[in-house]
Chain A
Amino acid sequence: MTDPVVDARGLALGYGGRAVVEGLDLRIEEGEVVGLLGPNGSGKSTVVRGLLGLTPVLAGELALFGRSIDRFTERRRIGYVPQRQTVTGGIPASVSEVVDSGRLRSLRPRTPRERREDRARVAEAIDAVGLATSAHRPLAALSGGQQRRALFARALVSEPEFLILDEPTAGVDRANQQILADTLARVVEGGTTVLLITHELGPVERLATRAVALRDGRIVHDGAPADAPDEHHHDDDWHHDDHAEGPAELGPGLGLVGP
């Protein structure tokens, strides 16, 4: 039997010794598509940062692929799509250069064969998100939704077994949401484990096979998406992004599983 992708027991995560998330018990098995729900300040981002090794474990245990987070070095097995569009705007970096940065291995020089393989994988990842014609354009010249797709390609290019997407539809117009949805559908079909962070239930209901809801740093629901607390649909403290390029509603969302 394979180790769970994520195994957190009594986990506390936080900053400067202050716990933001406490008593978290979360087990994610291989191939699961889990939606992590919660209002702003509920601890979703802290959980993500903990899984990425960016936030220290204050108490409890956290293992990835069967290895304690302290000893987990195979970071390439995890792909991460941040919510923010991380374009510095200083130097014009092309889409293919940014995607290529997700392919980095160790510091040692690449062999010619590895160079060829890297080039092929970068082209494939860019093609998978529908940006083949923009591969050599500066990332900063693309729309917000296209930039998110490029960062999705950067996560895919390392061929991850576990993909973490932080608010993938926030600030993204309908057309780009659909392309993201189609790409993610293929990733899910390939057996990749997915953790999808969102503040809205719409896309998760359609994509996730399981929903975990956080409130004030604790899990308040872990089960079928349809059974997730209904309050989240209407509660005013659920953040609605007002930087969206298109209509505020989710449109097609990530309609990936089932009709």
Chain B
Amino acid sequence: MRIELLEYAFMQRALLASVLIGLAAPSVGIFLVQRRLSLIGDGLGHVALTGVAIGLVTSTSPVQTALVAAVVGSVAVELIRVSGRASGDVALAVLFYGGIAGGVVIVSKAPEGTPVNLDAYLFGSITTTTRGDVVAFAILAVLVLAVTHGLGRHLFAVSNDEEHARAAGLPVVGLNVALAVVTSITVVVSMRVVGLLLISALMVIPVATAQLVTRSFRATSLVATAIGLVASVSGTGASYYWDTPSGGTIVLLAVGAFVVLSLVTGVAARLRRSPG
């Protein structure tokens, strides 16, 4: 049997990138949801846009400049939060608006003739993933998975009870910065296929869906990763056949899974409670 979309090199690259995103996004997202920082990925996406704009203006790889901008932004927000100079949501608001404003202003200064299509970065486009992007994404995704799995117990301890983790002598600031950095890396890995404005959804929604049916953190992590992988790969494939933006398609599939599972678990709970 021939699968048409696999005959195109751009689709092969997009599907490879979607596998990496599907694995990485929920692996990071579970710690963000646990810490009630579900929207941090959104804020970092905005900051990464400034990085993309710098890349376009300076004719540098937008992936590299977005990575630098997102990592610097994430570490800054974490340090602002730790220092107590601003609450988490205020720091996040500064990140959101400063990031997107910076991106729009800087990109307006792009030299004439520079192809500027911010939509592809914001909402994902399956035709834009280059061979170099796939290699960079693979290295970055392995790094993300190595941190989230290698330090998983420690990140769980800090996310679950930060004060206890401090009292136990864990390097809480270092672990929080590590989580912030892998979050920004995940945002950048996702910018081609899912898009900077939608990546947060793929970090959060598979986790929210998984916890409807799981009873432990580990099970939630595994189920969320499976949901993320299926939504990411099938959404990328569907966007080819339906001629839709890949990011929106992936996220709608993930939202669909959440709605269906919410209804099923809701009905099941009602049946269990009903007499007889």
Residue B150 is within 8 A (CB to CB) of chain A in the complex: yes
Determine if B169 and A73 form an interchain contact, defined as CB atoms under 8 angstroms apart. Answer: yes
Give the complex CA separation of A107 and B152 in angstroms. 10
Contact with B along A71-101 (1 / 0, CB 8 A): 0011110101010001010111110011011
Complex Cα spacing A91 to B163, Å? 18
A contact set with B: CB distance below 8 Å = 52-54, 73-76, 78, 80, 82, 86, 88, 90-94, 97-98, 100-102, 104, 107, 109, 136-138, 154, 158
Q: A53-B167, A73-B169, A82-B164 are in contact. Are A136 and B157 (CB under 8 A)?
A: no
- 5 interchain residue pairs of minimum CB distance: A75-B169, A101-B157, A94-B216, A52-B167, A86-B161
How many residues on the B side are at the interface (Cβ–Cβ under 8 A)?
A: 31
The answer to whether B109 has its CB under 8 Å from any CB of chain A is: no
B34 close to A90 (CB less than 8 A): yes
- Tell me whether B168 and A97 are in contact (CB under 8 A): no
A88 to B35, CA, bound (A): 8
How many angstroms from the CA of A93 to the CA of B153 in the assembled complex?
Answer: 12
Establish whether residues A90 and B33, one from each chain, have CB atoms under 8 Å apart when the complex forms: yes
Contact A98 B160 (CB under 8 A): yes
Residue of chain B at shortest CB distance from A72: B169
Q: Are A101 and B160 in contact (CB under 8 A)?
A: yes
Which of A94, A101, A158 has the most CB atoms of chain B within a 10 A radius of its CB? A101
Majority secondary structure of chain A interface residues (helix, strand, loop or mixed): loop
Q: Which residues of B contact A93 (CB under 8 A)?
A: 156, 160, 216-217
Interface contact B150-A109, CB-CB below 8 Å: yes
User: Are A107's CB and B154's CB within 8 A?
Assistant: yes
> B171's contact among A88, A98, A100, A107, by CB below 8 Å, is which?
A107
A97 and B167 contact, Cβ closer than 8 Å, known pairs A86-B160, A88-B160, A104-B157: no
> In the complex, A91→B31 CA distance in Å?
9
Evaluate contact between B156 and A101: CB separation under 8 angstroms.
yes
A82 to B36, alpha carbons, bound, how many Å?
A: 21
Assess whether A101 is in contact with B153, with CB atoms less than 8 Å apart.
yes
Q: Is the CB of A94 within 8 A of B215?
A: yes
Residues of chain A within 8 A of B167, CB atoms compared: 52-54, 75, 78, 80
Residues B197-243 near A (CB distance < 8 A): 207, 211, 214-218, 220
CA distance A92 to B213 in the complex (A): 10
